[in-house]
Amino acid sequence: MKHADIIQTLDLEQKCALLSGGTVFDTRALPGKNVPSITLSDGPNGVRKQAGAADHLGLNPSVPATCFPTSATVANSWDPALGEAVGEAMGEEAAAQEVSVLLGPGLNIKRSPLCGRNFEYFSEDPYLAGKMAAGYVRGIQKNGIAACPKHFAVNSQELRRMASDSIVDERTLREIYLTGFEIVVKEAKPKTIMSSYNLINGTYANENAHLLKDILRKDWGFEGAVVTDWGGSNDHALGVKNGSTLEMPFPGDDSVRELMKAVESGKISEADVDARLDELLELVLDTKAAVEAAPRTFDADAHHALARRAAGESIVLLKNEGGILPLKAGEKVAVIGDFAKTPRYQGAGSSAVNSIKVDSFLDCLTESGLVSAGYAQGFERQGKANDTLKQEAVALAQNANVVLLCMGLDEIKESEGIDRSNMKLAQSQLDLLAAVAAVNPNVIVLLSAGSSLETEWLRDCKALVYGCLGGQAGAGALVDVLTGAVCPSGKLAETWVNGYDDSPVKDHFAGEGRTVQYREGLYVGYRYFETAGKPVAFPFGYGLSYTTFAYSGLKAAADGVTLTVTNTGRCAGAEIVQLYVAKPDAKIFRPAQELKGFAKVWLEAGESKTVTIPLDDKAFRYWNITTDGWEVEGGKYLIRVGASSDDICLTGEITVLGTGAPNPYQSVELPHYRTGEVTQVSDEEFAALLGRPIPEDKIKIDRNMTLGELGHGRSPLGWIVAAVLGQLLRRSIQRGKPDLNILFQYNMPLRALAKMTNGAISMGMVDGIVMEAQGFWIIGLLRVIVEAVKNIVLNAQMENRLKNS
Ligand code: BGC
């Protein structure tokens, strides 16, 4: 232990008190024992430090900071070094604001295009997500503070986010949902990691020994502190026993008593508490020193410029018919669309940054050399049809050579706390596009949206520029791409489907029940579409450029490849070279091909470069459920190198020595996992993949019943709470602005009342509420009252003791 000297001076109460937060974003201090408090702040695309009233949903104001493009955006750059630069700048701002732990990046897998938080995550592919996240973590931690990759793990939906149970087979868990975290932990050594809200195969992530002990700490060698998501602790003692260090936010002293009781009753040992405390003290002392030594200022202009560069390098050109882009200087353009004036540049929720300044597309255009024919709003942001706005826009479009149409998803469509209900742009925007295209064929759509969309309207535009959510300087980056100041080089980090119905998870995503079956197994995103042979709108890794590239001279070996890439066009640009591994004759089923390496190479016009892409221990491995380890199937592999998952330019063949492990599926019937047709998987087949029966999915009246589910209970009071919340939720959605508080409460389990009320509600009181919901109205109520009195008295006594320690 590193901090035995401090630990041995603490009594059990003091030790336990340090393992939960002191406020919404600060840890507890014990000044008499030389333990200071540190601050943790979001987030993934800029610092959200709240100087005044704090909340974990981005509701109250925070100190101004640079809003960088969201992770979904920077992922399209496929450039971990860019992620590192962004991370370093964010970390510098955090340290300047005396923040010790920056709560990001988020690297959950984009299992479904509808997950409301996809804008915060990198990719559907764990290799790309892991490499990008590792870049961010390295950058943040260069400042001596801690990064906190999140949400560990299998947390790919918002519905019932604090209480949904992800049912996933071990191989899929390891290969898809954990590999990104493995990369970030091993390659960037984050000082903390955030456990997710959800359960995994029946056990909360935060108290999951398999996840936190066996895998994170033992297999990957993680030595840092595990921090719960805010209110994500279910059984704090089990968390501490199984590897979770710090419960956040301030849960009240009841949580301290719970931990002490667990030690006293022998449920956990004091050694478990000491081990966690050692991790916490290391985090606190190490990062506190870094924060104290850091300058209190930073160069906001330089960070703005970096944000613009990051957005520019992440823009994906999805269509460019007839080479309409880049535009020539002096081109007369009409600017249409509400997003041109009021950009949509970040997502809603805990990641929302109070930006230092925000560029608008209209303002940036004035410096571009293009000639403006005027601006028209075109549509109402929240989707209400407005014929007058449409007609004004059509009239303006007739007056210009080119129409720059700024479309996108509005704020309610993408937010923490709520999944999208479809993948469509508002009908009013599509009607406008059609009307404008009817009078001016040169329509260029500039799209602001943090997740993929259906694009059946593509025929109505000549060019489609996908800016994703570009941060506070994103508008300027769009102008840079339009004029050719930046040659677009971004490529999609997620597949864009033709229609949501094509998604392999459509029948098993964010259902109403407690369990979510990850029935598609390994076949997430392109792994599904390519194996099952289904067409898509834009494949994974797709993106156009103003120049062209040729690939030649592939030399493939088991430890890496080299090849030559030549810029055969007329302008300088960057190409993202992607390497996929395939084994067409595999005995052990696997996706048709998987990303195992990539490189971004900058080339002047006419220039050639040799590109080297190493292959690491993850290139050929698969998780074998029989040997419970990583194995390699021996034999021939194809090394496929190309410009997207669907545009393979060179293929090499190599032979790899296998580990000789037995085929774990020898006698198991898994026909659809062999073909990739996973939308056809029956209950029996999924149970066979899981190796156990599919768990029952029943709403139970217990601590984990959500407030939204109280309607299923037996308490009239509960029915009223659920009905009122439901009504408020519907109203807030109709208003077009997400009410994150209502969303959070609707999906919040009863036990979180004891974790999110600053100590006002204890777990004993929650148990009274559960009894109430079970129909024991009088006993339940009495229990709540008795426990409330007990809680007030015990809290006061404990706070007094801790203050004087
Ligand atoms: C989010 C986390 C965030 C935390 C603190 C939670 O609601 O899930 O991502 O870091 O709040 O704001």
pLDDT band at residue 430, thresholds of 50, 70 and 90?
A: very high
Sign of CA dihedral 54, 58, 61, 64: positive
Ligand 1 atom at minimum distance from 104 CA: 10
- Percent of all residues in the chain with a pLDDT value above 90, rounded to a whole number: 89
CA of 586 relative to ligand 1 center, distance in Å: 41
What is the pLDDT, as a whole number, of residue 160? 87
Annotated domain spans of the chain: 12-115+127-161+180-293, 304-494, 547-666, 707-803
Q: In what order do the strands lie in the sheet with 635-644?
A: 594-603, 573-582, 635-644, 647-656
Nearest to 152 by CA among 192, 102, 202: 192
What is the pLDDT, as a whole number, of residue 654? 97
Fold of 12-115+127-161+180-293: TIM Barrel (3.20.20)
pLDDT band at residue 58, thresholds of 50, 70 and 90?
A: low
Fold of 547-666: Immunoglobulin-like (2.60.40)
Alpha helices in 625-746 (DSSP H): 671-675, 683-690, 716-735, 740-746
Please list, in sequence order, all residues whose beta carbon lies within 8 angstroms of the beta carbon of residue 800, skipping any fewer than 6 positions away.
none
Question: What is the CB < 6 Å shell around ligand 1?
Answer: 42-43, 56, 103, 150, 229-230, 350
Ligand 1 atom at minimum distance from 150 CA: 9
CA of 232 relative to ligand 1 center, distance in Å: 10
Measure the CA–CA gap between 503 and 128, rounded to whole angstroms: 20
Q: How many C-beta atoms surround the C-beta of residue 198 within 10 A? A: 24
Tell me which H or E stretch contains 330.
none
Sign of CA dihedral 506, 510, 516, 522: positive
Alpha helices in 655-715 (DSSP H): 671-675, 683-690
Mean per-residue pLDDT of the chain: 95
Catalogue the active-site residues.
Answer: 229
Nearest to 64 by CA among 75, 74, 50, 78: 50
Ligand 1 atom at minimum distance from 249 CA: 5
What is the pTM for the complete model shown? Answer: 0.97
Lowest mean pLDDT among 354-363, 700-709, 788-797: 700-709
Pair of tokens at residue 727: 């009504």
- Evaluate whether 545 touches 487 at the Cβ level (below 8 Å): yes
Measure the CA–CA gap between 156 and 150, rounded to whole angstroms: 11
- Percent of all residues in the chain with a pLDDT value above 70, rounded to a whole number: 99
Measure the CA–CA gap between 488 and 313, rounded to whole angstroms: 7
The CATH architecture of the domain made up of 304-494 is: 3-Layer(aba) Sandwich (3.40)
Amino acid type, 614? P
Alpha carbon nearest to ligand 1 atom 11, residue: 56
Phi first, then psi, for residue 124 (nearest 5°) are -85, -10
Q: 266: left (phi > 0), else alpha (psi -120 to 50), else beta?
A: left
Pair of tokens at residue 381: 């942001």
Tell me which H or E stretch contains 621.
strand 621-624
Ligand 1 pocket test target in 194, 350, 740, 741 with most atoms within 8 Å of CB: 350
Q: What is the pLDDT of residues 85-125, one digit of tens each?
A: 999 999 999 999 999 999 999 999 999 999 999 999 999 99
- Evaluate whether 132 touches 660 at the Cβ level (below 8 Å): no
Q: What is the CA radius of gyration of the chain?
A: 27
Ligand 1 pocket test target in 41, 42, 418 with most atoms within 8 Å of CB: 42
Measure the CA–CA gap between 405 and 595, rounded to whole angstroms: 34
Ligand 1 pocket test target in 23, 26, 41, 56 with most atoms within 8 Å of CB: 56
Q: What is the pLDDT of residues 204-224, one digit of tens each?
A: 999 999 999 999 999 999 999
Measure the CA–CA gap between 659 and 643, rounded to whole angstroms: 32
Measure the CA–CA gap between 658 and 662, rounded to whole angstroms: 11
Nearest to 336 by CA among 437, 427, 457, 468: 437
